[in-house]
Amino acid sequence: MAESATSASTSTVRPDVSTCHPEDTVREYLARGWWDAETIPELFRRRVIETPDAPAVTDPANLTALTGADPRTATWRELDDLVVDIAAALLDNGIRQGTTVAVQLPNTVVLTAVYLALWRLGAVATPMPVSYRRHELSGIVAVTAAAAIITVGALGDRELAAEALTVAGEGCAVFAFAPGVPDGAIPLGDPVESVSRERLRDYESGLTVTVNDRVTICWTSGTEAAPKGIPRCHGDWLAVAEGVQDGLGITSESVVLNPFPMVNMAGFAGSFLPWLIAGGHLVQHHPLDLPVFFGQIATHRVTHTSMPPALLTMLLHNETLRAQADLSSLRTVGSGGAPLPPPVVRGWQEELGISVLNFFGSNEGVSLLGAPADIPDPTVRAQHLPHYGAPGVQWTTRLAARTAVKLVDVTTGETVTEVGGRGELRMRGPAVFAGYLPGTATSEPFDDDGFLCSGDVFELRGDGGRYLRFVDRVKEIIIRGGMNIAPAEIEGLLADHPGIADVAIVGYPDAVLGEKCCAVVVPAPGATVTLADVVAHLQSREVASFKLPERLELVDVLPRNPVGKLLRRELRARL
């Protein structure tokens, strides 16, 4: 077993292993108990020892249609065997501690095992959505100096391994899982010889590992600019995952259905790592296929999952669709990425008996969780998140007490303290990353006090300022004649319009006022939507007149990136 935490072997020379945080920060976090000495591979070994024969992870039910492989469920012992086989094969082919490896796989048992195998070797994973193609893949491989790409032979009508071979340059190997492994790629997933396993054991015995060692380089969503690399270590990943586990109430008896790609905060911190911390059963899913998704909930008696707000709304209002789903096992659903309609959150709780947890997070480490235990009223929970810095308030998640929060007026730079005041959210604590990958960002997002500048505007709400209400991204605020309009606020109000399936509010140039407001709408099936309808709906909510859209564009679908975030720049370019 590798040495853990802050211990160091005097007989072992560590290779060029990248760490994330300054050593004084690491010592502080460990001393305060904000980080634990246990690394992710050690946590996994503990799970295997405790419940070796319990189901650990299950493939998507439609895996055969996706990759040609047969879906399976692996116990913790079987998952460990697969991890050893993959790690040994990678070691035999030159992957070592500190090596960066690009990973492009759908959510599967083998993706779960690949991450655990890389971290067992002390290697660094740089995950990529399967929707990425040559342009994105080549850029990431180049900037990270990746020594290998791990992928799958085929995904639908695409030959991912063949695509990877066209990107991999000299010194970059391509590994692929069957079926469809092309010539030039190294097969993965088969049992290895005993000599390879013995070589892996010898290698591990000489490793020195710390919780500050880099384990991933994830990527910002790139909705407004080129993606930036976000290195993370064992410690900060587990810190944010503990907060999510607390909020969702995941235990060793939980069955967690993961519909988000395991490439960034949503997949890692929303499902994968909370499952690893608590134990239980992880059911993989992606891309979203509603019949398959509903079937997995019913078959595996799923207790926890995540859904985008649009799906929550659709399920609540569409009885025909809901009749296809047996949701009786569900206890908690996490949601975020867009405003949550209060009537929908209340409906899920009162009509379906399922609590909706309000998530707000970023890859850089922002993590706010509106848990039912903290905000029992579903209407309040839909619109508000806990203000971790509120005086005299104790929240249920461990992360809350360990995180410093402030709002800063974007014009004056003053800290916002009055209820109703608005400012940029800034955070500091054990879940916040240490800085962008060199060469991928022109500046670091920290203020002089070391707080992460989120770029998100919030309003201080509730008794004594105990809550935060999201307003919008600083860069997305529309300024009409000197008045600020938050697109997310208007989008939230239009979310329950019966004729609107999806909506985005964007600014367009105006010679007199600077900007005006345009509603880009995807109509619901069979619905007709006019600008007058949109304005009337907002006026019924007594919205200030300067916020009302003055233009309507109807589209079949809104442009989104591979993880579902709206690409406003494309909409603005059209206007």
Is a pLDDT exceeding 90 seen at residue 550? yes
Count of Cβ atoms closer than 10 Å to residue 541 Cβ: 9
Q: How do residues 447-493 score in pLDDT, each as one tens digit? A: 999 999 999 999 999 998 999 999 877 788 787 876 778 888 899 88
Q: Are 223 and 565 in contact (CB under 8 A)?
A: yes
How far is residue 528's CA from residue 5's CA, in Å, rounded to a whole number? 60
Count of Cβ atoms closer than 10 Å to residue 218 Cβ: 24
40-52 burial, b if ≥16 CB within 10 A, otherwise e?
Answer: bbbbbbebbeebe
How far is residue 340's CA from residue 60's CA, in Å, rounded to a whole number? 27
- pLDDT attached to residue 567: 86
Count of Cβ atoms closer than 10 Å to residue 347 Cβ: 19
Give the 3-state DSSP-derived string for 140-205, with helices as H, strands as E and coil as C: HHHHHCCCEEEEECCECCECHHHHHHHHCCCCCEEEEECCCCCCCCEEECCCCCHHHHHHHHHHHH
Contacts of 436 by beta carbon, 8 Å cutoff, 6+ apart: 228, 229, 230, 231, 444, 445
Q: Pick the closest to residue 571 from 521, 500, 499 (CA basis).
A: 521
At 272, list the tokens: 């994968």
Q: Coil, helix or strand for 478?
A: strand
How far is residue 128's CA from residue 155's CA, in Å, rounded to a whole number? 14
Q: How do residues 31-72 score in pLDDT, each as one tens digit? A: 999 999 999 999 999 999 999 999 999 999 999 999 999 999
Domains of the chain, each with CATH number or no CATH? 23-209 (3.40.50.980), 244-475 (3.40.50.12780), 477-574 (3.30.300.30)
Q: Which single residue is written with the structure tokens 């004649």?
A: 481
φ, ψ for residue 469, nearest 5 deg: -115, 125
How far is residue 166's CA from residue 182's CA, in Å, rounded to a whole number? 12
415-426 average pLDDT score: 95
537-554 average pLDDT score: 91
| Amino acid in position 75 | T
At 73, list the tokens: 């469920």
How far is residue 58's CA from residue 89's CA, in Å, rounded to a whole number? 23
The pTM assigned to this predicted structure is: 0.85
Q: How do residues 334-374 score in pLDDT, each as one tens digit? A: 998 777 889 999 999 999 999 999 999 999 999 999 999 99
Give the 3-state DSSP-derived string for 63-80, with helices as H, strands as E and coil as C: HHHHHCCCCCEEEHHHHH
Largest pairwise CA distance in the chain: 75
How far is residue 370's CA from residue 45's CA, in Å, rounded to a whole number? 31
How far is residue 372's CA from residue 70's CA, in Å, rounded to a whole number? 38
How far is residue 3's CA from residue 299's CA, in Å, rounded to a whole number? 40
Is a pLDDT exceeding 90 seen at residue 131? no
- pLDDT attached to residue 166: 94
- Beta strands 100-103 and 124-127 are parallel
Q: Are 221 and 117 in contact (CB under 8 A)?
A: no
Question: For the chain, give me the number of helices (H) and strands (E)?
Answer: 20, 25
Burial class of residue 534, CB neighbours in 10 A (0-12, 13-18, 19+): buried
Is a pLDDT exceeding 70 seen at residue 11? no
Compute the residue count for the chain: 575
- Beta strands 173-177 and 186-188 are parallel
Q: Are 173 and 148 in contact (CB under 8 A)?
A: yes
Q: How do residues 209-257 score in pLDDT, each as one tens digit? A: 999 999 999 998 655 557 899 999 999 999 999 999 999 999 999 999 9
At 541, list the tokens: 């909510």
The rounded percent of the chain whose pLDDT value lies above 90 is 76
How far is residue 192's CA from residue 551's CA, in Å, rounded to a whole number? 62
Task: Quickly list H helices, 221-335.
Answer: 234-248, 265-267, 273-278, 290-300, 309-317, 319-323
Helix axes 40-50 and 76-92, enclosed angle (nearest 10): 140
